[in-house]
Amino acid sequence: MVLCLSNAIDCDIKKTGIRDIYRVQKERERDKKVVKNNGSIPIIVETSSTILKADVLKQSKSFHIKNKQKLCAKHLELKKNEEVPIYVSEQLTAKAARLFFLARDLSKSRTYKFCWTSYGWVYVRKDEQFPIIAIKSEAQVQRLLLDT
């Protein structure tokens, strides 16, 4: 699948560029109850270099711009469920994932137009004329909410 993805987004990934591929746990046990994960199960791909990872993320983003469509299963040459979307994103730490969640909420509820991650950092921007703001804490998000 990863090699088909690399062909679809026009990114040269070789088998030697992949360190590991695995799925996150589908089910987990909590208080002796099995909690099922809703939706699809993410596949984690560890690359041999940060440069390759950045290139895959960049090419995935440019795929959407060039083709005016989202990546889906048919681009990975999967015949079953051809229209199921494929999301390519970087894996964040728990803290960064929380900040990204709050920043996305900020961009939805307020005047911030852009919200994204890069190299594990979370960024927001009001629009093209305003400076980029790196989100470093939950308190900073709260201040931004109060300032708008």
How far is residue 22's CA from residue 12's CA, in Å, rounded to a whole number? 21
Residue type, 144: L
pLDDT at 35: 47
pLDDT at 30: 44
Q: Kindly list the averaged pLDDT for each block of 10 residues, start to end, along the chain of length 148.
A: 88 90 66 50 89 91 84 80 83 93 87 88 92 94 84
pTM (2 decimals)?
Answer: 0.73
Distance of CA 142 to the CA centre of its chain: 23
pLDDT at 75: 83
> Helix count (H) and strand count (E) of the chain?
4, 7
Which helix H or strand E contains 59, and what residues bound it? helix 50-67
Query: Which of 102, 7, 123 lies closest to 60 in space, CA to CA?
Result: 7
